[in-house]
Structure 1
Amino acid sequence: MTLLASFASAQIRPEQVYQPPPASSGAASQQSNLTNGVNPQYADLLGNALWFYDAQRSGALPDDNRVSWRNSSCENDGSLNNTDLSGGWYDAGDYVKATYPLCWTMTSIAWSALSFGSAYQRSSQDAYLDSTLRWGLDWLSKTHSDKDTLWVFVGNPTVDNQYWSGDQNIPDPRTSYSVTRQNPGTDAFASCAAAFAAATYLYSEGAASLPTSTNGAQLGGVSSIRNRTYSDALLRHADGLWDLAINSSPKQVYSMASPTAGQSYPSSDYESDLAFAGLWMTLAKGDASYANQGLAFYPQGNNAFASVNTALNWDRKTAALPVLATQIAQLNTSLGLSISRFQTDAEFYFDNLLNNKMADVSQTKGGLYWWKGDSDGASLNPALNAAFIADLYSGLATTSAKTTAYRSLADSQVDYFLGDNNYNGPFIVGQHPNSPQNPHSAMASGGSDITNINGSPPKELHVLYGAVVGGPDKNDRFFDLRDDYPQTEIALDYNAPLIAAAVSRIARNVTKDPPYTLSSGGANVASGRPTDAAYPARKHGLATGAQIAIAVVVLVVFFGAAGGIAWWQRERLRWWYRERKMGL
């Protein structure tokens, strides 16, 4: 049986085409004047963040493509496997397409729209939210065109990560990798089910705002994009993927079923994905049985969250579980979910974070929360995801003091990101004159010499507006080097919490300008040599070729010896893989 892929262009059109303004517009010398009650700086943040997804598009570009320097590309994806996997987005600074992290990105965007969606219509970005969601969801529909199969990766990791040039000569045809009912990827099935279920509810005619406070304020949902036909098509995929996740055997991470596909994004567990998907399925279908199935994989025992210290990202959703469960329990009391249980768990997590009681979690001198192992590869993402869920939960806290504390936690991380930092600028390309100038992006760089990424060309050819970079190091230093991918690479999932922060502030009527408007003088770009995975310590002057050879040998030996038990070392695997790419 083949599922009908649900393709539809955006149902609403923008009244006026949005194009990012010049970076100089972010250097406001005085408080911005509101437009229809919206601070234009936050409206531009949201507009630029959505424009970034247009810049990352793969496949045949539509007639209304807004990114003049982008071309149609990789239109034959999937052909080697007799399927159509064209479209979607390139995952990061190179040209692979990865389903597992994309599903978290789509879920996160839908979640923030359900919680703070009023911001989209107020800032005239609802049409772009619709087109962004549909571009991603339509491609995910292709990855699940057969009821027993999910395609999880497109591209040849070795070849694609050695290609550093524009979108016209990407090595083609490209290999695709799948997981199936017979060879499962439980985490990927569940994460994809969550994405479809969240979008199902957002597009449904009866969608209600997910609560973000106990006072009954309705800030979420986007009424202008509701479409029953599209919602029903998305639900069919959610149902099918949930069935694969909960019923296929053995339950295992997708990198066990497809090791090559899991090289770039190895997964740590499937339990948090099942619990997360069960909650979203309950919201989409109004049936608590899905939550009950999923919560079998939720941390068990009294005060189980007292010891939870994991970062929230595409890999692990544990920290998000009690926040989403609290929202659903308050929204629909007939489901029988224990709101007090989930409030207790959420507050254990946030209180431990605030009180420095989490193992392997600290703060930089500048105030950025730092998760050992996760922040080393992209420092802003874990902190901004923590800000996202703290923002969602703060108004649902059990005391006013906790509400204030969690709001301050969220605002501190977002403000750091937006310019209240040692770098003296926002970590968003094109937003301010002090924005990063050298994002690690093969498309935007304009270069074609992978051995000279920083110098060829000396200046980035295209401005990748709205792209969130990896972020500074643990000493709050940002080097702005194109080849320093932990700091300057861009990625689909990096932008999702930027969108959440922007829509939250618009929906909550925040009028004060973002911190970057106060940044005067030049950016405080660090000098010297970074110390991270892109710039490992060089001993005895080893040549580049020797380092590549050593890295390859280490990879071969490592994978040969460790086999299937090594997947949990997700960041190290990704770093070693990236080192080979960079030729260091």
Structure 2
Amino acid sequence: MASSLLMFSLFIFLASSLFLSHAFPGKHPHSHTSSAQHNYKDALTKSILFFEGQRSGKLPSNQRMTWRKDSALSDGSSVNVDLVGGYYDAGDNVKFGFPMAFTITMLSWSVIEFGGLMKSELQNSRQAIRWGTDYLLKATAQPDTIYVQVGDPSKDHACWERPEDMDTERTVLKIDRNNPGTDVAAETAAALAAASLVFRRVDPAYSNTLIRRAIKVFKFADKYRGSYSDKLGSLVCPFYCSYSGFQDELLWGAAWLHEATKDPSYLSYIEANGQTLGANEGGNTFSWDNKHVGARILLSKAFLTQKVQSLHDYKRRSDDFICSIIPGSQTPYTPGGLLFKMKESNMQYVTTTSFLLLTYANYLASSHKTVSCGGTVVTPKTLRSIAKKQVDYILGSNPLKMSYMVGYGPKYPVRVHHRASSIPSMSSHPEKIPCSSGFGFFNTQSANPNVLVGAIVGGPDQNDGFPDQRSDYLHSEPATYINAPLVGSLAYLAHSFH
């Protein structure tokens, strides 16, 4: 579980270590990170393909990750609800609704901002989003109820087995009026609202279904307040505990509903509740748990491009975020120049931050604005250069010359912490491999037999080291929410840098 040890993310500030030697010469002399040209189009294709490796349910005839087969076809049957489909979050076989919703929000935001640059990959991106939203629609079909998890993580983690063989208990968890989960509900509303924008022109009926559901889910989230972690306890913690509380998700959800509907009531809600929802709190970490920075950037768009004056403070706070991550801001980074926030799954912060930099650069450029950080003027070009260096590091411009995207470049992780990838596929080994038997494959030094193309793993340590060990889930486990923001960044780079 890529998030199983992420503790107290609310209290850890993202003073991001992003390296821009040519813009600020002499600050960080990491000359070995200067990169060769990367094939961003190839990386974009693969970053989206990865999601097919994470699919749960009945796979479609056009499934391209062919070593994966149908799995978890009776999910929800224990409570007489159809919960087949959706995504496994990482290298396990549990469907966690909280990070899944964030994944869909970020995939949708990637298409909203950069879909025009995706060319032939736009349709694949939409399909990746729809695989998630179809599931979220099932999970929210009952009024004032959301099914937020399928699977018992403790029992699942005691096994090492293919999802196709899965025989652990498929425990179904839900939130409702008596057991609220404002955080996961508001994130689900954000995902449905953002996705409605993705499908507005190409499938208006589906788009309308998504936005209608988003409105209902947000009302439920706001009316029945509480953190889903409080009631569900060890079944969601420490895996996807809501450490930052639920206020950030309410602000984030309202921001997306305002973006999708332009209904002035959401703007009024933000104006009236912004401060109590922590508009000035939360540091500058952006992740599946903490949405403060993302909400500020999104709301600054309305100020910059739509002249909504009441949102001026969100632009100011977005500028503060930028000033906290430019080189020279005393922020953590590896010797090779990679932003470094946490020992576990650090790449998720690299991909979310890079996406925000490119997105905010677009908002600034469209309104002819810059950011002032003390005596330094930071331009959209500077932000794009910082983001590019981070993406280049992921793709191989680093001291190990290793791509942290599986299947990209000549050298990449081959012992990825991922059950389906590490055990022979159904095609090559049709006999069932029981729960404990899979650990024989887990413990081998052999490369994974199935290449999980496009997966971004947790990444190197603070010294740019990477052991490439399957047991080292801190660094070797991929996750959907690591990839989702990178899709947008790669779409931009694929058609803006040559």
1:72-151 superposed matches below 5 A: 72-120=70-118, 122=119, 124-151=120-147
User: Where does residue 544 of structure 1 map in the other structure?
Assistant: none
Say how many residue pairs are matched. 441
Deviation at 1:285, TM superposition (A): 1.2
Shift of 1:354: 2.1
Query: How far off its partner does 1:301 sit?
Result: 12
Which residue of structure 1 aligns with residue 398 of structure 2? 421
Which amino acid letter does the alignment assign opposite residue 237 of structure 1? R
Q: 1:266 aligns with which of 226, 241, 247?
A: 241
Taking a change above 3 Å as real, the CA distance of residues 399 and 430 of structure 1, as seen in their structure-2 partners, is same
Q: Which residue of 1 aligns with 2:268?
A: 292
Is 1:368 matched with 2:338? yes
The structure 2 residue matched to 1:319, chosen from 271, 287, 293, is 293
> Given residue 360 of structure 2, which amino acid in structure 1 is its aligned partner?
Y
Q: Counterparts of 1:90-489 in structure 2 under 5 Å? A: 90-120=88-118, 122=119, 124-205=120-201, 226-248=202-224, 251-263=225-237, 264-268=239-243, 269-294=245-270, 296-299=272-275, 305=280, 309-333=283-307, 336-338=308-310, 340-354=312-326, 361-371=331-341, 375-397=342-364, 398-399=369-370, 401-403=377-379, 404-446=381-423, 449=437, 451-452=439-440, 454-456=442-444, 458-489=446-477
- What is the CA distance between 1:344 and its match in structure 2? 1.3
Q: 1:144-163: CA deviations, max 9, x gaps?
A: 01011101111011221122
Deviation of the 1:309 alpha carbon? 2.8
Secondary structure of the structure 2 residue equivalent to 1:338: helix
In structure 1, what residue type is equivalent to 2:107? I
In the alignment, the residues of structure 2 paired with residue 298 and residue 486 of structure 1 have an alpha-carbon distance, to the nearest angstrom, of 35
Instruction: Flag structure 1 segments of 5+ consecutive residues without an equivalent.
Output: 1-29, 33-38, 206-225, 512-584
Cα distance change of structure 1 residues 353 and 296 upon mapping to structure 2, 3 Å threshold: farther
Deviations 1:252-299 (A, max 9, x none): 211112224422100121111010111111111111321332455545
Structure 2 CA distance, aligned partners of 1:457 and 1:472? 19
Give the C-alpha shift of residue 70 in structure 1.
Answer: 1.2
Query: Secondary structure, in 3 states, of the residue corresponding to 1:259?
Result: helix
Identity %: 31
Mark the CA change 1:74 to 1:46 in structure 2 (over 3 Å): closer, same or farther: same
Q: Comparing both chains, which one has the higher relative contact order based on Cα–Cα distances under 8 Å and sequence gaps of 6 or more?
A: 2
Show the counterpart of 1:578: none
- Range with bigger deviation, 97-106 or 407-416: 407-416
Task: Please say which of residues 405-414 and 238-247 is displaced more in the overlay.
Answer: 405-414
Native 8 Å contact 2:189 2:213 kept in 1? yes
1:277–1:294 contact (8 Å) kept in structure 2:
no
> Tell me, what secondary structure is at the counterpart of 2:345?
coil
Q: CA deviation at 1:337?
A: 4.5
Paired position in structure 2 for 1:17:
none
CA deviation after TM superposition for structure 1 residue 357, in Å: 5.1
- Paired residue type of 2:336: G
Residue identity matched to 2:284: T
Distance 1:48 1:432 in 2: 11
Q: 1:135 deviation in Å? A: 0.6
- Asked if 2 retains the 8 angstrom alpha-carbon contact of 1:74 and 1:172, the reply is no
How many angstroms apart in 2 are the aligned matches of 1:157 and 1:117? 35
1:175-222 Cα deviation digits (max 9, x unpaired): 1100002211011110000001111122223xxxxxxxxxxxxxxxxx
Distance in 2 between the 1:79 and 1:337 partners?
Answer: 50
Q: Aligned with 1:117: secondary structure?
A: helix
Matches of 2:473 and 2:292, distance apart in 1: 27
Contact 1:429 1:464 in 2 (8 A): yes
Distance change (3 Å), C-alpha of 1:204 and 1:183: same
Q: Which has the larger radius of gyration?
A: 1
Secondary structure of the 2:325 match is helix
Contact 2:156 2:168 in 1 (8 A): no
Q: CA deviation at 1:352?
A: 1.9
8 A contact 2:423–2:438 mirrored in 1 = no
Deviation at residue 340 of structure 1 after TM alignment: 3.6
Q: CA deviation at 1:435?
A: 1.0
- Which residue identity lines up with residue 379 of structure 1 in the other structure? N
Q: Distance in 2 between matches of 1:167 and 1:75?
A: 10
Which residue does 1:68 correspond to in 2?
A: 66
Matches of 1:137 and 1:283 in 2, distance apart?
18
Letter paired with 2:338: L
